A and B are shown apart, each in its own frame.
Chain A
Amino acid sequence: AQSVTQLGSHVSVSEGALVLLRCNYSSSVPPYLFWYVQYPNQGLQLLLKYTTGATLVKGINGFEAEFKKSETSFHLTKPSAHMSDAAEYFCAVSEETNAGKSTFGDGTTLTVKP
């Protein structure tokens, strides 16, 4: 069975500071890993994904994430936070053999202070 744990339900950073959102996963097979962003009262939008190959993946809006198999982690980072980054972020794991279903973490709300 697959599962995701997002450490920290709320993260607050100052504008221009480093953003680090933590995600650990559990999967019985090589996982596919995703980060999504959700703005209030909207659906989720895919930020980036890891499937195979390069373990450092880059996404939209300057975000990137690194897959670390030994740590079962897929943390999301951005070097410099912008006010527009304030949103809720979800980490998700999917397995190839599971009808493409994704299991989501509980989400992390990012607040960016001016």
Chain B
Amino acid sequence: SQTIHQWPATLVQPVGSPLSLECTVEGTSNPNLYWYRQAAGRGLQLLFYSVGIGQISSEVPQNLSASRPQDRQFILSSKKLLLSDSGFYLCALNRRQPRYYGYTFGSGTRLTVV
């Protein structure tokens, strides 16, 4: 079965520091990959998605960027973190076909910017 490995589980970073969150996929190839952010008590906000290596679509203008250097690797980055970047970050995959399979999520990274 398909799984997503996401790390670290928690992260405390000072304002202005860089960020790199990574997720890797097992059990499937050529998936669509997504980064979501969940603020406390709120729903999920789609940040980026990727339909293939090197293909990144941004949903929200922000301080973050994403990359997909390999088929099963998806990275979320920032050069300088802001306080507003705090939140729970979730990586998810969706099979290309059929797309309605539903998401498989990673276990998430709780980022606190101080």
Contacts and interface: CB of A to CB of B under 8 A. Distances in A.
Name the interface size band of chain A. 20 to 34
A99 B43 contact: no
13 contacts: A34-B102, A36-B105, A41-B9, A43-B6, A43-B90, A43-B105, A51-B100, A94-B100, A103-B46, A104-B36, A104-B43, A104-B44, A107-B42
B21 to A, nearest CB: 13
B57 interface: yes
A99 B107 contact: no
A73 B99 CA distance: 21
Interface in B21-79: 32, 34, 36, 41-44, 46, 49, 51, 57
Contacts of B44: 44, 90, 104
Nearest to A34: B102
A113 interface: no
A102 interface: yes
A91 B103 CA distance: 12
B2 to A, nearest CB: 12
Interface residues of B, number: 32
Nearest to B55: A99
Contacts of B9: 41
Contacts of B87: none
Contacts of B43: 90, 104-107
A2 B96 CA distance: 20
Interface string A35-61: 010000111111001010000000000
Contacts of A94: 99-100
A92 B43 CA distance: 10
A100 B110 contact: no
Contact of B100 (A36, A43, A49, A104): A49
